[in-house]
Structure 1
C-alpha cells in the first residue's frame, strides 16, 4: 500500500516538473520571438533611417550641384559656350550653301574657315593658360579675326544675294549673318579674357605680396638684379636658389654682406653713432667768461698770439701823455762854418705831445692753429688700462647698475668699448674665483 502511494506521489511530482518545464520553454520561446520581433523592428527602423538619410544626402548633393552650376561664373561660361555654338550653327549653313552653289568640291572650304577660327581661338586660351609671350597670343588673335572676317564677308554676300526677299530684307539678312559670324569668336575672346583676369585675381595675398616685392626689388636695384640673373644662368639648372644668388650679387656690387646695406649707409651709420656718442659724453662745466676767453685764445692765429697788447697801455679815449723827445741834430757832409753858431734852442728839449697807442682788438683766426697752441689731448688707453679703470670705478656698484651706459660715462669711452667692459665685468662677477 505504501509503495503505490509513493508511486503516485512521484508521478504527480514528475507531472508538475514537466508542466513547469513546458511553461518555462513556452516563456523562453515567447522571449525569443519578442527578441526577434524587436530586432526586426530595429533593423527596419535603421533601414528606414538610412534610406531617409541617403535621400536627404542626395537631395543636398543635388542642391549643392545645382547651386554650383548656377553660380555667375558657371552661368557665364556655359552661356558663352552656348552662344558660341549657336553662332557657329547660324553662320555655317550660309557658307556651305554659298560654296556649294559655286561647286560641290568647295564643300570642305566653309568647314576649314570655321575650324581655323575656332582652333586659333582655342590656341589663345592655351597660350593664356601656359603664360606664353604676348606676341604669340596677339598673332593667334590676328588669325582668328582674319578667318572670322572672311567668313563674315561670305555670309554678308550670301544674305544680300537672296532673290526671294526684298532689298531691305536682303540687307538685314546679310548684316545679321555677318554679325552672327563675328559674334562667336568675339564672345569667346571676351570669355577667355575675363577668365584670365579672374584666375589672376584668385591668387592669395601672400602670392601677390611676393610678386610686388620682387618687382620693387628689381626696380630699385637693377644692377644687383642683372648680376643675380647672370649668376643663376651660369649655374646648373636648379643648383643656385634665387635668394642665394641675390645675396652673392649684393656682395659683389656693394661689398656689404648684409643685403640692403651699402658703403654710403655704413658711413651714415658711423656718423650717427659718433654723433650719439658725442651727445651722450658729459662735458666739464665752466663759467661763461672763462669759456669765452678760451675760445678767443683758440681762435687766434700765430701772429695774434705772439703780438699781445701791453697791459700798461692806457685805454682808448684817455688823455694824451706828454713825452720829452730830443730835438734832432742836423748832420751834414761838410764841416760847419766857425762863423755859424749852433742855435740856442738846440740845447733845450722841446716837448712833443704824442698820443698813446691803444691795444688792438683780437682778430679771429685766419689760418690753422699750430700744434703748440692746441689743447693737450689725452693719450689713448689700452684695453687693459680701460678694464682697470672700469674695475676701480664700479667696485661698489650693484649688479643692476652695471650697464654699458653707466660704464661709458664713468670711464669716458665709446659705447662699443663700454659694452665689452660690461660683459667682462659681468663675467668676472659671475665666475667664482679660483683658489691657488
Structure 2
C-alpha cells in the first residue's frame, strides 16, 4: 500500500477561533500558524463571546507545547500527528502586489502561504480558511485553499426528511393506534425506524400520526394537543409539540424556514410545562452586522441588544395575546417575567450560569458553531431540556454555511439517540403572503 504524502496546512485565524483544537485534526500532516494569526488572536483574547474563549484557550494550548522548535522546523504534536510550527512574516510577492494593494492580515497570511509553497515544491501547501473571499483570492494566484472540513456534515438532504409518510397501510393496523388492547409494532409495518421517528400513516379509509418509541419497540398515536393557547396547525407542528412535551426527550432540534412556528411552539411547550422546571430560558446568539461587535451601536446595553431580542418578545406577545390581560394565564406570564422564572436574553449572558432543571430554548441556532453547541449542551445539569431552533438556509454568521453550522452538526450527530428528536417544519403558518415570499423571493 502506497504511503500517503504529507501536506502542509496553513491555518487562518478564523479556523482557530472556530475550533481551538483544530491543530489536532489534520492527522499526519504538518500545521503552520502564521505569526499574523497570533497577532490577530491577541485582539480577541478579551471578551465574553465564544470566539474570545477560543482565542484564550488556543494561546494556552500553544503555551503548553511552546518551545524554540515552534519557530525552528516544528514540534511534533503527538503519535500519528504531524508537526506544528509558527511562520514569521514574509514579503508580499510581486504577483500579489499587482492584484491586492492593501497590506491586510489576510494578505500577509496569503504571502506566507505563497512563500511556503515556493520553498516546498514537492509538498502540497494548502491554506485553510473559513473566509470564502480569501479562498477565492488564493485560488486566483494558484494557491491551494479549502474550508475547514472537520465538522462539516456531508448529507444535509437527509435532515429534511425526518417525518416519513407511509401510504397504503392496512386500516386494521391503523386502528391499533386507537386501541389500547394491542400495540402496533414496527415489524407489522415492515419498517426499521430510529428512535423518536415520526410517521404519517395513510390507509384507504383512515389515517393517523404516530411516534416510534425505541424503548418499547412500538408505535404510539400522536394526538393534536394545545399548549398554552397555541394549537398545532399541521402534522409537523403536531409532531414538534409532541416531542417538546415528552419528558423522556431531553434534546429537541426544530428546523424550518421563517414562519413555520419553531420558536412559538417551543415557548408554548415550555410555558405548558413550567411547573416541572425551575426556570425557562429563551436565548439567541447576537451576530452583529458586518461581523462588528455591538459596542459600536449607540445607547446603553439594553438599547444595543433590543433589536436582536425583539423577535423573541414578539413570540411571547403572540402567546400572551391569546388571553385577556385580566386572565390567570396572562398574569401568570407577567409574574414569571417579574420573578425571572422566564428570561429572554442574549446567549452570551447565559454563559457561566447553572443549567440544572431548566427548559432552555436556543433560537437562531444555525448561527452557532458546532463547538458552541457542544459547550452549551455539555453544561446541562439534571432535569434540563434543550431545544434548538433555526433555519439552516438563513445563516448570518460570516464563516458558517448549511453544512458547517452547529444546528446541522447537532442534528446529524444526535440522529437516532433515544433522548433526541428532530422535526423539520415545512409549511409556513404566518400568512399566505409570508409563505409565498419565503418560497418565491
Q: TM-score category by the smaller chain?
A: under 0.3
Q: Normalising to structure 1: TM-score of the pair?
A: 0.15
Structure 2 length as normaliser, TM-score? 0.15
Larger radius of gyration: 1
Q: Which has the higher strand share?
A: 2
Structure richer in helix, relative to its length: 1
